[in-house]
Amino acid sequence: MPNEIKGLNEECGLFGIWGADNAAQLTYDGLHSLQHRGQEGAGIVSNENGQFHRQRGLGLLAEVFADPQKIATLPGTAAIGHVRYATAGNHGIKNIQPMFFDHPGEGQFALAHNGNLTNATQLRRDLTKKGVQFQATSDSELLGELIQTSSQTNFIDQLKASLNQLRGGFAYLLMTPQMMVAALDPNGFRPLVVGKLANGAMIVCSETCALDQVGATFVRDVEPGEIIIVTDKGMQIDHFTTDTHLSICSMEYIYFARPDSVIRGISVHEARKRMGAAIAKEAPVKADVVIGVPNSSLSAAIGYAQASGIHYDMGMIKNQYVARTFIEPTQAKRVRGVSMKLSVVKSVVAGKDIVLVDDSIVRGTTSSYIVRLLKRAGAKSVHVRIASPVLKFPCYYGIDIQTTKELIGANHSVPEICQLIGADSLAYLSVNGLVESIGALNDQPNHGLCTAYFDGQYPTPLYDYQAGFDADVARLGLYEGAN
């Protein structure tokens, strides 16, 4: 299911390069393969011998750069770029990144952010008291303001001191005239990788699929608490804290990341196949054919079919050419968008008992529409298998669901959801099944994963969000119902 329709959205995608003649073009190409991480806006800043040039706008990357001359206005051998989906702040142009800041030592720096800070309200309040006037409304600007008001004397020390004041999920790319710097939060919620071109140019980006896109080789993952500094002399690895605890967002494996990406050595496609195989074992059902909801559920559907021995077929197709008006982030447009985007292949489903594999159910409106579509096409029965656990808890680390009100799984039992979506049966993967399927880092607690969406076990304090979360738990008795 495309992110923009399901209503479960990643905040952003990052791509930066240092040391390439066509830096802006390569940044455009890299960002293109990260478009799934944000469709509301895009921007690129290039660095021409210390002078910055920027283009940014609302919409898809190809819309922002529809005029081919725009890339030509971004000369220089280094660039950073960003694709955005707003989880914090409004949707205006001022929030489109990269953002610019003045700096007494460096002259200027540019900044791009993926994630969500859990102490943004407090920091904004503190900075406002110090007289800071914010350019925009998103929490991405906070790091820039903290650097500007830091009492440290050089850029890297200012950056380190500022990063240590942030809480929550954050991956940053910054660029000064002299360097590109990447930073990852102490839990490493979001993927961030380093790559290299054959000519020696260094790249930092959100997913390995962007490295493949520009012909770069993978060098390493950015580790929690690290800062990576790239200059004309090469790459230097430093850190702003050693108090780290890896908690990669499990939704990256389930849904957000592209299937051709590899996160911390694990192929996203293979992890999804294992999730499909695991739910086939946990909740078997007799059926004639397995189909997946395109596109993000297809890997899990293949895994389900392989493990169950039930034939896999292409029961649904996705129309790639739906006008942008249907992918605006409102519920009414999402529902209309689903009907424009998805169609059933009648010859595959008519008269058959179907296993429908999907990666997740957020609000339930999409699932109920799909079940109806399949039944209208003549399916005898539709057994829905979700290749992830029930979404019960909000995310405060960079996904746009920040209240349980929106989550059908927080407000209804599995039998109720089954009835609401009109399925003949419904089962979800267990949290253990998920963790084992991803099989991330065996030496770390919870395999180095964040599974808070499913079990409410947040890897960090929630700061600004704690009171709202406590109210949700009290209202819904969430912990009793968590498993």
- Binding-site residues for Mg(2+) sit at 296, 358-359
- Residue entry with tokens 């746009």: 400
Query: CB-wise, 176 or 451, nearer to ligand SF4?
Result: 451
Q: Which of 12, 205, 249, 418 is catalytic?
A: 12
Within 13 Å, how many C-alpha atoms sit on residue 302's CB side? 11
State in angstroms the smallest separation of the CB of 249 from ligand SF4: 3
CB of 436 to ligand SF4, least distance (A): 16
CB of 229 to ligand SF4, least distance (A): 26
Min separation Cβ 252 and ligand SF4, Å: 7
What is the spatial distance between Cα 428 and Cα 414, in angstroms, rounded to a whole number? Answer: 8
Q: Which residues of 394-430 are buried (b: 16+ CB within 10 A; e: fewer)?
A: bbbbbbbbbebebbbbbbbeeeebbebbbbbbbbbbb
Q: Which is nearer to ligand SF4, 355 or 399 (CB)?
A: 399
The contact pattern for ligand SF4, residues 319-348, with x = CB under 6 A and - = no contact, is ------------------------------
Contacts of 456 (CB under 8 A, 6+ apart): 392, 393, 473, 478, 479, 482
Interface with ligand SF4 in residues 235-254 (CB under 6 A) = 249-251
User: What are the angstrom distances between the C-alpha of 236 and each of 17, 203, 229, 233, 328?
Assistant: 15, 13, 5, 9, 41
Neighbours of 376 (CB within 10 A): 11
Q: Which residue ranges make up the annotated binding site?
A: 296, 358-359
Contacts of 200 (CB under 8 A, 6+ apart): 19
Rounded least distance, CB 127 to ligand SF4, Å: 26
Please report how the helices 331-341 and 365-376 are oriented relative to each other, as an axis angle in degrees rounded to 10. Answer: 30
Choice between 190 and 383, CB closer to ligand SF4: 190
Active-site residue, 450 included: no
- Reduced to 3 DSSP states, what percent helix, strand and coil does the chain have, rounded to the nearest 5? 35, 25, 40
Q: Which is nearer to ligand SF4, 179 or 450 (CB)?
A: 450
**CB closer to ligand SF4 out of 238 and 436:** 436
229/450 with CB nearer ligand SF4: 450
Angle at which helix 431-438 crosses helix 268-282, to 10 degrees, equals: 140
Binding mask 367-396 for ligand SF4 (x = CB under 6 A): ----------------------------x-
Residues 161-190 that bind ligand SF4 (CB under 6 A): 189
Site residues for ligand SF4, 260-279, by CB under 6 A, read none
95 token code pair: 């929030």
Residue 1, CA distances (Å) to 80, 172, 404, 473 in order: 29, 27, 21, 29
The distance of closest approach from Cβ of residue 304 to ligand SF4 in the complex, given in angstroms and rounded to an integer, is 22
CB of 450 to ligand SF4, least distance (A): 3
Q: What distance in Å separates the CA atoms of residue 63 and residue 327, rounded to the nearest whole number?
A: 14
Query: Minimum distance between the CB of residue 40 and ligand SF4, rounded to whole angstroms?
Result: 18
Q: Which of 240, 312, 397, 465 binds ligand SF4 (CB under 6 A)?
A: 397
Contact pattern from residue 188 through residue 207 relative to ligand SF4, giving x for each residue in contact according to CB under 6 A and a dash for the rest: -x------------------
Say which amino acid occupies 67. Answer: D
Cα distance between residue 48 and residue 378, in whole Å:
61
CB 99 within 8 A of CB 135: yes
DSSP, residue by residue, 191-256: --EEEE-TTS-EEEES-HHHHHHTTPEEEEEPPTTEEEEEETTEEEEEES-S-----EEHHIIIII
Residues 398-457 contacting ligand SF4, CB under 6 A: 399, 450-453
User: For ligand SF4, how many residues bind (rule: CB under 6 A)?
Assistant: 11
Closest CA to 310 of 331, 284, 349, 338: 284
Using the rule CB under 6 A, is 349 a contact of ligand SF4? Answer: no
Close Cβ partners of 305 (under 8 Å, ≥ 6 residues apart)? 276, 290, 311, 312
15 or 397, CB closer to ligand SF4?
Answer: 397
Binding interface with ligand SF4 (CB under 6 A)? 189, 249-251, 395, 397, 399, 450-453
Q: Please list the active-site residues.
A: 12
